[in-house]
Amino acid sequence: MRDVGRHQTTQLACTANGLLVAEMGAAFSCCTPPENSLAEEAANTTAISSTLQSSSPRETARGRLLVFVNPHSGKGKSLQTFRKVVAPLLDSNNLNYDLVITTGRDHAKSVLISHEDLGSFNAILILSGDGLVFEAVNGILGRGDGFKILPTLPMSIIPSGSGNGLLCSVLHASGASLKPKKIHERAVEIATSGRAKSQNVAVFHVETDRGHCACFLSIGWGIMADIDIESEKWRKTLGSNRFTLGGIIRSLKLRTYRGKLSYRHYTSKERKQSEPYHIYDQNCCDRVAKREEKRKDTWPEYHVEEVPELHEPLDESWTVVDDEFISFYAVTLSHISSDGPYAPTAKLEDNRIHLTYILKKDVKNRMEIIKFLTAIENAKHLDLPFVKSVEVSAFRLEPQTGGSYVTVDGEVMDTTNIQVTSTTMHMSVFSAAK
């Protein structure tokens, strides 16, 4: 047992023959988790009980990954995929890893909030859908050093979830095929390559009645959110086809939602593409140390423009739509699934929000909604006259109908009101560029 630091962690190590043994390991901390009860609880229970390590020695490895596998995501095959396909490739490319098999909601988040040795990893690998990426981003931002770590600890995704909008958007940006088999093959190739490079993806500040978080993909309310949440029960049987069935059912039982939407038009200049870095040249800790940016620790310091807090009134620079809605869907990336792009002009690093909504008064009958949902597959939905779209830098949504879901990156939020603001913050993912 080495003793290189103040903190001790207990981990279950996987020996070459697959046997699980408990091992005491020492952890040097360059990045500081918050000292709260959630962090302590995670360190003592969930994080430890399901952590495995690759058998290749850390000293000779090209780099080190923290892997999260959600065994229940999508059709439930992610653990099998990791063991049979991904782990052998990581081993042959001399990439070391710690594996966390998630046991439920917020497991990954609590591991990332409390991990005392996060800076020693080069990257994070996720086998799940957008939901686990959302958890990972917010786990990192739950740390005292979260704003420093997020841009310097790239994430790689092997699509095992039923919704993989982030990965599809990254692949699309490099011109890769979005046929399911091709997506999987390319994702494995990218995730296990020792020559992987980074790609920045804009993140946005979300304020709800209960607090703050980050998002990178979508904010939904109305029919799109209902479809996403109500079709979760078909995740295992239908995979991503759950959205099609959910869409048909919801269109036939069409609901409307009273609410107030306020937004600010996007006026900032488009952001420059930042230079990619080689993921295995340095670990996260070294990248944090090299960053020259002035330290900022709060969301407002990253906002592209000043906005009031959610509980404060808005001034007349905001456009207000107070009406009966059928759909409200805001996206920040091109793809919400492997279907045609939802926001064809969205770019990975660009921080504009592509907002779309449908008002009840503009729709003649429910067939038009079916037409809207099927048009998304071919990216023709924005041509429909009743679909309003606008690029914004901030919006506030105040639903007045009870019982409606608000989703962020496909996850349901425990809130009525929500405000989202463009920022200069970004996360980092594995680039798909050849």
CA 166 to chain centre: 7
Give the contact letters, 73-112, x = binds to ligand ADP (CB under 6 A), - = no: xx---------------------------xxxx-x-----
Q: Which two tokens stand for residue 87?
A: 């782990």
Q: List the structure tokens of 233.
A: 């029960």
| Structure tokens belonging to residue 115 | 């991990």
Select 131 or 154, whichever has its Cβ closest to ligand ADP. 131
Helices (H), 257-324: 284-290
Give least dist CB 161 to ligand ADP, A.
3
- Which residue, 118 or 136, has its beta carbon nearer to Mg ion? 136
Q: Smallest distance from the beta carbon of 411 to ligand ADP, in angstroms?
A: 6
Residue closer to Mg ion, measured from CB, 129 or 246? 129
Residue span 123-162 as binding mask against ligand ADP, x where in contact by CB under 6 A, dash where not: -----xxxxx--x-------------------------xx
Q: Which does 139 bind (CB under 5 to 8 A by kind): ligand ADP, Mg ion, none?
A: none
Q: Distance (Å, rounded) from C-alpha 27 to C-alpha 102? A: 21
285 class by beta-carbon count within 10 Å (0-12 exposed, 13-18 middle, 19+ buried): buried
- Minimum separation from the CB atom of position 343 to ligand ADP (A): 20
**Nearer to ligand ADP (CB atom), residue 233 or residue 361:** 233
What does the DSSP 8-state code read for residue 136?
H
A 10 A CB-CB count for 190 gives: 24
Of 3, 98, 117, 130, the catalytic one is: 130
Give me the least distance between CB of 77 and ligand ADP, in Å please: 11
Number of residues that bind ligand ADP (CB under 6 A): 22
Stretch that binds Mg ion, among 61-69, 244-252, 402-410, 425-433 (CB under 5 A): 402-410
What's the min distance (Å) between Cβ of 118 and ligand ADP?
19
Instruction: Provide the 10 A C-beta neighbour count for residue 57.
Output: 9
* Cα 27 to Cα 9: distance, rounded to the nearest angstrom: 7
- DSSP string of 39-100, one letter each residue: HHHHHHTHHHHTEEE-SS-GGG-SEEEEEEE-TTSTTS-HHHHIIIIIHHHHHHTTEEEEEE
Whether the Cβ atoms of residue 223 and residue 250 lie closer than 8 Å to each other: yes
Give the C-alpha separation, 412 to 13, whole Å.
35
Number of residues that bind Mg ion (CB under 5 A): 4
> CA-to-CA distance for 297 and 401, rounded, in angstroms?
35
Binding span for Mg ion by CB under 5 A among 50-58, 131-139, 210-218, 315-323 = 131-139
**Can residue 411 be called a binding residue for ligand ADP (CB under 6 A)?**
yes
DSSP string, 196-240: -BEEEEEEEEEEETTEEEEESSEEEEEHHHHHHHHTGGGHHHHGG
Under the criterion CB under 6 A, does residue 380 sit at the interface with ligand ADP?
no
Instruction: Please say which residue, 129 or 154, places its beta carbon nearer to Mg ion.
Output: 129
Measured from the CB atom, is 161 or 399 closer to ligand ADP? 161
- Closer to ligand ADP by Cβ: residue 61 or 331: 331
- For 356, residues 6+ apart whose C-beta sits below 8 A from its C-beta are 327, 328, 329, 330, 331, 342, 381, 382, 387, 388, 389
Written as six digits, the tokens of 23 are: 């091992």
163 near Mg ion, rule: CB under 5 A: yes
Among 146, 151, 163, 246, contact with ligand ADP (rule: CB under 6 A): 163
Minimum distance, C-beta of residue 24 to Mg ion, in the bound complex (Å): 36
The question of whether 130 is a catalytic residue gets the answer yes
According to the binding rule CB under 6 A, does residue 220 interact with ligand ADP? no
Question: Quick one: which of 33, 63, 74, 131 contacts Mg ion (CB under 5 A)?
Answer: 131
406, 399 Cβ separation under 8 angstroms: yes
Whole-angstrom distance, CA of residue 109 vs CA of residue 427: 16
Residue 181 near residue 175, CB atoms below 8 Å: no
Site for Mg ion contains 159 (CB under 5 A) = no
Question: Which residues are marked as active site?
Answer: 130
Binding site for Mg ion (CB under 5 A): 129, 131, 163, 410
Binding site for ligand ADP (CB under 6 A): 70-74, 102-105, 107, 128-132, 135, 161-163, 235, 410-411
